[in-house]
Amino acid sequence: MERTGIHELSAAYALDALDDAERAEFEEHLVHCADCRDTVALFRETAASLAYDAEMPPPPPALRERILTQARRERPNVVPLRRRWAFPAAASVAAVAACAAIGLGIWAATLHNRLGERPEAVDIQGANGSLIVAPSGEATLLLRNVEPAPAGKTYEIWVIRGETAARAGTFAGGERVAVALTRDVPDGSVVAVTLERAGGVNKPTTAPLFRTGAV
């Protein structure tokens, strides 16, 4: 019931016909629903084709110049291409139900299209889930079907910048995991999860089970 209703919203979402609250709610739903992400991707493409029906008086030449001038001025702010984090290969004994990584959305790009205004969701490699990062850097890790940590062990989250991994919280696993990170996630960092002894440790002692690309 509920599911059908929200699924139907992928059309309104693709047409930008949701108000801010509905949009935020649907984007939250998109993080978890691969079907809707697929539908939205198709609908976005169809909706974008409607753009060609608009009359096209040529834009003033000055607009092109304004855009390029402003872009050049901002150049240093452009995020670098994601760097590969030199991690050892993820542990093969990953205590993770082997789900395909949930591509965050399609709309990875779109979800963040208001840069600086709304949270973005980042794929998790090696697990079903995503990392939601607010513009402020506050982040929440959402995972599904993570095998409960064995007795005496805990999952520990790390925010890694350059060569430094900083502790960012622990969790026990389970069907649905939602953990607010205890530290901010700056641009260009990687968030990873390792299995550590209960209580957590100061530095990761095992290879990451799952992690994001550069945030």
Partner 1 sequence: MARDLAHLSDEALVALVARADDSALAELYDRYGGVAHGLALRIVRDRTLAEDAVQEAFLAIWRSAARFVPERAKASTWILTLVHRRAVDTVRREEPRRAEPLETAQQATADTTEDEAWLRLQRARVQEALRRLPDQQREALELAYYGGFTQSELADRLGEPIGTIKSRMFTGLARLRELLAEPGHEEERWNAPEFTS
Task: List residues binding partner 1 (CB under 8 A).
Answer: 5, 8-12, 14-19, 22, 41-60, 63-64, 66-68, 70-72, 74-75, 77-82, 103, 105-110, 112-115, 120
**Least distance (Å) between residue 199 CB and partner 1:** 36
Closest alpha carbon to 212 in 27, 77, 85, 113: 85
Closer CB to partner 1, 108 or 134, in the complex: 108
Nearer to partner 1, 12 or 90 (CB): 12
62, amino acid identity: A
Phi, psi of 93 (to 5 degrees): -85, 30
Q: Please, which residue, 40 or 141, has the CB nearer to partner 1?
A: 40
* CB of 106 or CB of 142, closer to partner 1: 106
Minimum separation from the CB atom of position 180 to partner 1 (A): 23
- The distance of Cα 8 from the centroid of its chain, to the nearest Å, equals 23
Tell me how far, at minimum, the Cβ of 110 lies from partner 1, in Å: 6
Q: Which phi-psi region, left, alpha or beta, contains residue 86 (left: φ > 0; alpha: ψ -120 to 50)?
A: beta
Closest CB 201 distance from partner 1, rounded Å: 32
Are the CB atoms for 152 and 143 separated by under 8 Å? no
Residue 82 beta carbon to partner 1: minimum distance, rounded to whole angstroms:
7
Question: Positive or negative CA dihedral for 112, 114, 117, 118?
Answer: negative
Contacts with 48 (C-beta within 8 Å, 6 or more apart), sequence order: none
Which of 79/198 has CB closer to partner 1?
Answer: 79
In sequence order, the β-bridge partners of residue 211 are: 125, 192
